[in-house]
Structure 1
Amino acid sequence: MATFRAPKRLFCAAAETAASLPSSSRWERLKNSKAGVWCRSMLSDYKEACREVVVGARDQPLKASVYVSLLGGAWACFHTSPDQSSFEATMWERSNQLGLLSPWIRNASSDGHVQSLVKLHNEGRLRHASLGLFSVVYQADYDPDTMLYEAQCSDLAVPWRELPRRVLDIGFIGHWWILNSKMKDYDINENEFKHLPAEMQVTAPPSAQQVERNERLHKESWLAVTVEDGEKETNSSVSGEIQMKPPSGEQTQTH
């Protein structure tokens, strides 16, 4: 026991001496320690880096504006990257839109894509992965709650190199682009027009002149016919009939 008393006394004496030292000397010892020197050097490096950024932005404003725009765009993409709940809400909304239509007028491509997504969701095989600037939704082989060996073994999991073939949608800037593109003209059944000639299957939007003409004719069709216009038309028709009849003298001479 005597061997442990000497270190104990030395430790207690050092503690009493450190406590008796003034606060200024303790602060100086903390600054001169390894941790204090490391913190001061790190703060000095950050200060120098900030000063160089300010000086560089002042000397090259165009380059600085480009960097700021890229950083702002990256932050906006990261902030607006949609999550899995957003994809499910969009999927159910598109499914409801198709459900309001008759099966005879639904677009086959839109209906097939949405129905496959709903089936995978019901089977628990839809997966969502956030990649920072954008998100992806892909299909898996099994539900995560399935207790099969193939579903629980990590060595049999789908490798990352097969992810591009399994991607179902890409979420970027708050939109799911593949699902929105599949829903284009979702209320037009293209199979109804496949028997028509090729020139009749393709329609072009009307020009601005045609739209203005159709609108003008539509507005004129609702205008009421005035009495003066009706009298003028009646008088003109009566005068035309009188001119068409030959005189009575000519009729007697022919006989």
Structure 2
Amino acid sequence: MSRLNKFILFRILWRSNTTVPDEPKKSLFQKLVDHFKNVASDYKDVAIETAKDMKERPIKSGIYISLLTTSVVLWKTNPGEKEYHARLTESVTDLMLVGERIRNPESVAKINQLSSLANDGKLRCYNIGICSLMCLKSHGPEVKLYSSTCKYINPHWTEFYKTIVDVGIFGKWIKLEESMKDFDINPGEWNEDGQPNPNFKFFNSSLVSWDMKLK
């Protein structure tokens, strides 16, 4: 056996007899401390890199921050189905407190239509995070007709936009708010010159006038 082979054999035998001291076992508390330290270190590195990138690209960072802030505000102020029905009830109450002569006919007609649909259960709310969609259904939840349960005769998803009744965003329902604009002004009561309209008639076909009539 050559000297080189003897040296290699000696090294192998020496390593096999050498024992590595065992590391001391850590307690559960110490493991948790080490884990949170590693997590904090990772977040610190990410924050440092993000701050450095923001300084190098201020315009890009400003756009990202604006989009993130807007998304958070939209999500926090997104109105839901309860807010819609509450606002609709409030609109009906507002119209009831206004005399029939000065109610806006367009507001009355629109609120009557929405109230009728809500009473029949034909309104359905879809919450998509940053806004909500109030959509029209062909049947109420209690109707179990074939036309309401068969998926093959229901409207295609590409026609979904046709069923949208209102859009809720920034804490308000757009169409509902537009319907109540100038609800206490009847444009037919006066002429363009400011004089009373002699041909003016009451708008009696209203669902919200029954309890306002004096007997």
TM range (shorter): 0.5 to 0.7
- Which protein has the bigger helix share? 1
**How many residues are aligned here?**
162
Q: Percent identity?
A: 30
Which amino acid in the other structure matches residue 86 of structure 1?
E
Which amino acid in the other structure matches residue 159 of structure 1?
H
Equivalents in 2 of 1:156, 1:52: separation in Å? 55
Aligned to 2:157: 160
Do the aligned partners of 1:127 and 1:139 also contact (CA within 8 Å) in 2?
yes
Do the aligned partners of 1:83 and 1:130 also contact (CA within 8 Å) in 2?
yes
Aligned to 1:14: none
Aligned to 1:112: 109
The question of 1:77 aligning with 2:74 is answered: yes
The question of 1:96 aligning with 2:93 is answered: yes
1:22-69 Cα distance to aligned partner (Å, 9 max, x none): 788xxxxxxxxxxxxxxxxxxxx9998766533211212343133112
Aligned to 2:208: none
Q: 1:151 to 1:61 in 2, by over 3 A?
A: same
Do the aligned partners of 1:107 and 1:187 also contact (CA within 8 Å) in 2?
yes
Do the aligned partners of 1:144 and 1:151 also contact (CA within 8 Å) in 2?
no
The normalised TM-score by structure 2 is 0.65
User: Which of the pair has more CA radius of gyration?
Assistant: 1
Aligned to 1:181: 178
Question: Quick one: higher RCO (CA 8 Å, sep 6+), 1 or 2?
Answer: 2
Q: Specify every segment of 5 or more residues in structure 1 that has no aligned partner in the other structure, as ranges.
A: 1-21, 25-44, 202-255
1:18-33 equivalent positions in 2, closer than 5 A: none
* Stretch of structure 1 that moved more, 58-67 or 121-130: 58-67
1:1-255 equivalent positions in 2, closer than 5 A: 52-193=49-190, 196=191, 198=192, 200=194
**SS where residue 81 of structure 1 aligns?**
coil
Equivalents in 2 of 1:112, 1:23: separation in Å? 81
Q: Specify every segment of 5 or more residues in structure 2 that has no aligned partner in the other structure, as ranges.
A: 1-21, 25-41, 196-215
Equivalents in 2 of 1:95, 1:103: separation in Å? 13
TM-align CA RMSD: 3.0
